[in-house]
Amino acid sequence: MHVNDVVAYIQANRERFITDLKDWLAIPSISGDPAHAGDVRRSAEWLAAHLTGEGFPTVEIWETPGLPAVFAEWPAADPDAPTVLIYGHHDVQPVEPLSEWATDPFKPVEKGDRLIGRGSSDDKGQVFFHTLGIRALLAASGAAAPPVTIKFLVEGEEESGSVHFAGLLRERRDRLGCDAVVISDTTMWAADVPSMCTGMRGLTEAEVTLRGPASDLHSGSFGGAVPNPLHAMAALLAGLHDAEGRVDIPGFYDGVVPLTAEERDAFARLPFDEEAWLRTAGESRAAHGEAGYSTLERIWARPTAEINGMWGGHTGPGGKTIVPREAHAKISFRLVAGQDPAAVQDAFRAWVAANTPPGVVAEVAIPGGGVRPCFSPIDSAGVRAARRAMERAFGGEVLFTREGGSGPEADLADVLDAPLIFVAVGLNDDHIHAPNEKVEIPLLLKGAEAAAYLWEELATALR
Amino acid sequence: MHVNDVVAYIQANRERFITDLKDWLAIPSISGDPAHAGDVRRSAEWLAAHLTGEGFPTVEIWETPGLPAVFAEWPAADPDAPTVLIYGHHDVQPVEPLSEWATDPFKPVEKGDRLIGRGSSDDKGQVFFHTLGIRALLAASGAAAPPVTIKFLVEGEEESGSVHFAGLLRERRDRLGCDAVVISDTTMWAADVPSMCTGMRGLTEAEVTLRGPASDLHSGSFGGAVPNPLHAMAALLAGLHDAEGRVDIPGFYDGVVPLTAEERDAFARLPFDEEAWLRTAGESRAAHGEAGYSTLERIWARPTAEINGMWGGHTGPGGKTIVPREAHAKISFRLVAGQDPAAVQDAFRAWVAANTPPGVVAEVAIPGGGVRPCFSPIDSAGVRAARRAMERAFGGEVLFTREGGSGPEADLADVLDAPLIFVAVGLNDDHIHAPNEKVEIPLLLKGAEAAAYLWEELATALR
């Protein structure tokens, strides 16, 4: 296979690729709006037909209790070749406020190098470059089948919470078996700074209630002589962190995979403008966090405890001199590789119990099991192979990032017991989830090129 | 004057005293309900007529921008005699829930030794025993005028916040000049444990707002890397007290008059059942407060900082993984003798500024000037004289208490620059501000007897 053949195929098929993608983007597959359930189904059917047209021997629409996913499979010629599952989604975010869109969100248009329309970056565009990549690889190599068995799983409920996704994975596990999962639903650092995400943080949430007297008390008659649950809450939550900004819950850091010198170095080489970042952080006035870590390390690779809400006593206008009966707080923890949501939940419960003062009764409610973190070490075989593919396409060094948020991707790694590899070409300024979503067409084409090389690289690396 | 003559007069006039008091109690002088404004005025007129009938040479109804007060004056024969002002109020609390009253709140009835009706204890009954006391003193001594110049100031807005009281005091200061103020609007420890209150706590309130980012932020993208105002609030308020339960604001205790060994001893001799008290404290599970002080000392004689309300971020159902933009808290301070609300306000502002972390902006709002504490040392001439009068009436030792709450009484001491003397016979179980308010008639008569002796004692003590 010649690089020039891959590039030539992609260039030759650019128009058809964009035209097809526009067709798909025109379907308003808004999963969060029940009125668009039929459109989500049309979107699945459109994709299924397209994949069939591209040559996938197996294409199926998979029903869920909610909206349908699309599954496709193209076996490698070599029965011993590894299997790779591509994950993406075909549903999109709502488009409100419509008045802020310069063009119709579902009438995609090209403006210069940009393709504008809902779903162009998140995530139809990024699912779509894979189909072009596979065709380019087969054309350039002259093979009838890819060098790895390729599976597609394209979800229809990602933008509405992936409610049925974990269930679907468990139910269809036998069909989804793979050696690696390629995720194409994230971003690169910048158009001229290609990068790969290597992990997402996990999440677990808790609500704490501290109870004091059975009713609010007059602070003149009782103030200063009985425990005040708001004082107890302030003291409890002030103890969440130590003076170094570390979470001060015994056991919280157990198992945390430390950042390697290589990854810290890769993060440090990203052109990060902290002042500009603070402006995007709601005009925050200062960076703040765990001592010894940079801002990027704090949001990507270190676990956190964050108070999301706190309330109790008199919160209306004017004064009310009471000792209140109850205090409440909602707390969430972002977790990193090596942490288990259930273990953090147990540690938190124990910590609250150990730090509740006499005369105050604590209750901890934890909704659900949380989201597991996901992480692929940068020196793992899959990540190294994907990086090589990206570097071949982009013609330069590919750096590393992570995602601070949490997503259903962790379920893929867990249920399928396979490492995740993030290959994506979205940008942070693509306006995903916002008006005027766009994608850079040259990056989509680079994505297709990287995808073409990826199967070749993974065929060797995962064997 | 013979004790027996005072007692005999009071016994002989018991029926007339009760009958007159019932007349007054029948007037529903609810100051908090505008529909009863006419009744409050009728109550003032009734009292004015009664005081005239009892022989006061000067009786006036004093208008305010709200509801009227009654002023009366009976000069001593000796122009060099001291002047004593009696403070009380003729307005009453609302009566809801009416269904919980066993009798009509404004059709006062006697049941055994009790007189039941709204205002019987708070405060008409306690104003009224003074008129009987003065008549008994004059009858027993054969004098035409009392041994001190007696002034009455009976307010009509105490139960609705004494909104115009401080203004009235300032406006009429020339008419109200006195050497001591007798307050008859509090309680004794118990029917068989006569006691005198010697002070009330002051009060100042503040609202703190801490601002972080300009809008709520996604905790996945920003959590752990920018300041969270709820964390800052928890840390700030956790620092309100040190490990010993002392308020940890520099300067807070400046000037605080320490408890004397004599007063601590007097408090300690009160038959205080802490377990029973905790039950009245909303079933609080433990006593709590400043180390080195008893519960009674904590609520009566030590200053406090109490969080009355706290809120910020997501407080509704479910989770919301945000770094919130703002945190709020309402805090009140109870103050004791020697503390100045304005100085505490300044100390609090400085403390908040010194304890606001980088990246967070603090705002402190302080509504009004606060309420000053009031306090009369137990070895002061006025308190000792009143105690002798009480002991003569009750035939045994009179102990000391204080009030943990705050009230307009402090304005009297401030504006008139005169010490306060609390002489009262109400009980904590009189159901004031509640259905079925009552007063113990034998205690009212003891109050009248103590009042009779009081003028004689004060004539000597204050000269």
Is A306–B215 a contact, with Cβ atoms under 8 angstroms apart?
no
Tell me which chain B residue has its CA closest to the CA of residue A216: B282
d(CA A236, CA A233): 5
| Nearest to A232, CA basis, from A355, A333, A363 | A355
Chain B residue numbers touching A307 (CB-CB < 8 A): 228, 230-231, 234, 313, 324
Tell me which chain B residue has its CA closest to the CA of residue A322: B308
Chain A residue numbers touching B304 (CB-CB < 8 A): 219, 223-224
Residue that is last in its domain, among A315, A340, A365: A365
Q: Measured between CB atoms, does A366 come within 8 Å of chain B?
A: no
Cβ proximity of B335 and B249 under 8 Å: no
Average pLDDT value for residue range A411-425: 93
pLDDT in tens, chain B (463 residues): 566 799 999 999 999 999 999 999 999 999 999 999 999 999 999 999 999 999 999 999 999 999 999 999 999 999 999 999 999 999 999 998 899 999 999 999 999 999 999 999 999 999 999 999 999 999 999 999 999 999 999 999 999 888 899 999 999 999 999 999 999 998 999 999 999 999 999 999 999 999 999 999 998 889 999 999 999 999 999 999 999 999 999 999 999 999 999 999 999 999 999 999 999 899 999 999 999 999 999 999 999 999 999 999 999 988 888 999 999 999 999 999 999 999 999 999 999 999 999 999 999 999 888 899 999 999 999 999 999 999 999 999 999 999 998 888 888 998 999 999 999 999 988 999 899 999 999 999 999 999 999 999 999 999 8
d(CA B433, CA B286): 27
Q: Measured between CB atoms, does B217 come within 8 Å of chain A?
A: yes
Is A278–B226 a contact, with Cβ atoms under 8 angstroms apart?
yes
Q: Measured between CB atoms, does B299 come within 8 Å of chain A?
A: yes
A426 has pLDDT over 90: yes
| Residue-averaged pLDDT of chain A | 95
Distance spanning both ends of chain B, measured CA to CA: 19
A182 pLDDT band, cuts 50/70/90, is very high
Task: Report which residue type is found at B325.
Answer: R
Residue A4: the pLDDT is 78
Closest in B205, B278, B318 to A319, CB measured? B205
Taking the CA of residue B161 and the nearest CA in chain A, the distance in Å comes to 13
State phi, psi for B457 to the nearest 5 degrees. Answer: -65, -45
Residue with tokens 């953090």: A344
Task: Tell me if A269 is assigned to some domain.
Answer: no
Ordered DSSP codes for B436-455: T-EEEHHHHHHHHHHHHHHH
Q: Measured between CB atoms, does B286 come within 8 Å of chain A?
A: yes
Chain B residue numbers touching A220 (CB-CB < 8 A): 201, 203, 334, 403-406
d(CA A311, CA B234): 11
Cβ proximity of B364 and B206 under 8 Å: yes
Is B226–A287 a contact, with Cβ atoms under 8 angstroms apart?
yes
Task: Tell me if B298 is assigned to some domain.
Answer: no
Instruction: Name the helix (H) or strand (E) containing A130.
Output: helix A124-141
Is A228–B306 a contact, with Cβ atoms under 8 angstroms apart?
yes
Chain B residue numbers touching A312 (CB-CB < 8 A): 309-311
Taking the CA of residue B275 and the nearest CA in chain A, the distance in Å comes to 12
| Residue contacts between A and B (CB atoms, under 8 Å) | 294
Q: Measured between CB atoms, does B403 come within 8 Å of chain A?
A: yes
Q: What order do you get walking across the sheet with A374-375 strand by strand?
A: A374-375, A195-200, A399-403
Q: Which CATH number fits the domain that encloses residue B361?
A: 3.30.70.360
Span A303-344, pLDDT tens digits: 999 999 999 999 998 888 899 999 999 999 999 999 999 999
Mutate to test the interface with B, among A205, A216, A231, A352 (most CBs of B within 10 A): A231
Task: Tell me if A51 is assigned to some domain.
Answer: yes
Closest in B236, B283, B323 to A214, CB measured? B283
Residue B403 token pair? 């009030």
Q: Measured between CB atoms, does A167 come within 8 Å of chain B?
A: no
Mutate to test the interface with A, among B217, B277, B308 (most CBs of A within 10 A): B308
Taking the CA of residue A333 and the nearest CA in chain B, the distance in Å comes to 9
Task: Tell me if B94 is assigned to some domain.
Answer: yes
Is A224–B298 a contact, with Cβ atoms under 8 angstroms apart?
yes
ipTM > 0.85 for the complex:
yes
Q: Measured between CB atoms, does A122 come within 8 Å of chain B?
A: no
- Residue B336 to residues A225, A319, B255, Cα–Cα distance (Å): 15, 20, 9
Inter-helix orientation angle A14-25/A441-461, to 10°:
100
Cβ proximity of B312 and B384 under 8 Å: no
Cβ proximity of B456 and B134 under 8 Å: no
Residue A390: the pLDDT is 98
Closest in B282, B298, B330 to A215, CB measured? B282
Residues B60 and B97 in one domain: yes
Residue B128 token pair? 């009224």
Span A109-147, pLDDT tens digits: 999 999 999 999 999 999 999 999 999 999 999 999 999
d(CA B227, CA B81): 67
Cβ proximity of B185 and B88 under 8 Å: yes
Residues A186 and A146 in one domain: yes
Is B230–A282 a contact, with Cβ atoms under 8 angstroms apart?
no
Residues A147 and A229 in one domain: no
**Residue B270 Cα to chain centre, angstroms:** 20
Q: Measured between CB atoms, does A309 come within 8 Å of chain B?
A: yes
Is B405–A201 a contact, with Cβ atoms under 8 angstroms apart?
no
| Nearest to B285, CA basis, from A222, A359, A325 | A359
Q: What is the share, in percent, of chain A residues with pLDDT greater than 90?
A: 90
Task: Report which residue type is found at B163.
Answer: V
Q: Measured between CB atoms, does A318 come within 8 Å of chain B?
A: yes
DSSP state of B63: P
**Total domain count, chain A:** 2
R_g of chain A, CA atoms, integer Å: 25
Closest in A205, A313, A404 to B310, CB measured? A313
Residues B128 and B162 in one domain: yes
Q: Measured between CB atoms, does B253 come within 8 Å of chain A?
A: no
A3 has pLDDT over 80: no
State phi, psi for B278 to the nearest 5 degrees. Answer: -60, -35
Q: Which CATH number fits the domain that encloses residue B84?
A: 3.40.630.10
Task: Tell me if B102 is assigned to some domain.
Answer: yes
Residues B239 and B118 in one domain: no
Q: Measured between CB atoms, does B365 come within 8 Å of chain A?
A: no
Residues B216 and B353 in one domain: yes
Residues B225 and B128 in one domain: no
Is A231–B237 a contact, with Cβ atoms under 8 angstroms apart?
yes
Domain that holds residue B37: 3-200+373-461
Is A223–B403 a contact, with Cβ atoms under 8 angstroms apart?
no
Mapping DSSP to helix (H, G, I), strand (E, B) and coil, where does residue B310 land? strand
Taking the CA of residue A117 and the nearest CA in chain B, the distance in Å comes to 24
d(CA B405, CA B92): 19
Residue that is last in its domain, among B365, B388, B418: B365
Residues A96 and A239 in one domain: no
Cβ proximity of A123 and A185 under 8 Å: yes
Chain A residue numbers touching B274 (CB-CB < 8 A): none
Is A220–B367 a contact, with Cβ atoms under 8 angstroms apart?
no
Residues A324 and A248 in one domain: yes
CB burial class (10 A; 0-12, 13-18, 19+) of residue B361?
A: middle
Residue A1: the pLDDT is 57
Query: What is chain A's length?
Result: 463
Q: Measured between CB atoms, does A357 come within 8 Å of chain B?
A: yes
Beta strands B195-200 and B399-403, pairing class: parallel
Task: Tell me if A386 is assigned to some domain.
Answer: yes
Task: Report which residue type is found at A148.
Answer: V
A220 pLDDT band, cuts 50/70/90, is confident
Residue that is last in its domain, among B312, B335, B365: B365
Task: Tell me if B293 is assigned to some domain.
Answer: no
Mutate to test the interface with B, among A208, A321, A333 (most CBs of B within 10 A): A321
Residues A340 and A414 in one domain: no
Taking 3-state DSSP, the helix, strand and coil percentages for chain B, each rounded to the nearest 5, stand at 35, 20, 40
CB within 8 A of B231, min separation 6: which ones?
A237, A238, A240, A241, A306, A307
Residues A84 and A118 in one domain: yes
Is A299–B225 a contact, with Cβ atoms under 8 angstroms apart?
yes
Taking the CA of residue A356 and the nearest CA in chain B, the distance in Å comes to 13
Residues B187 and B89 in one domain: yes
Span A245-289, pLDDT tens digits: 999 999 999 999 999 999 999 999 999 999 999 998 989 999 999
Span B53-73, pLDDT tens digits: 999 999 999 999 999 999 999
Closest in A215, A288, A311 to B226, CB measured? A288
Closest in A284, A312, A322 to B227, CB measured? A284
d(CA B143, CA B341): 45
Q: List B residues 175-214 in contact with A (Cβ-Cβ < 8 A).
A: 201, 203, 205, 212-214
DSSP state of A257: P
Task: Tell me if A297 is assigned to some domain.
Answer: no
Mapping DSSP to helix (H, G, I), strand (E, B) and coil, where does residue A202 land? strand
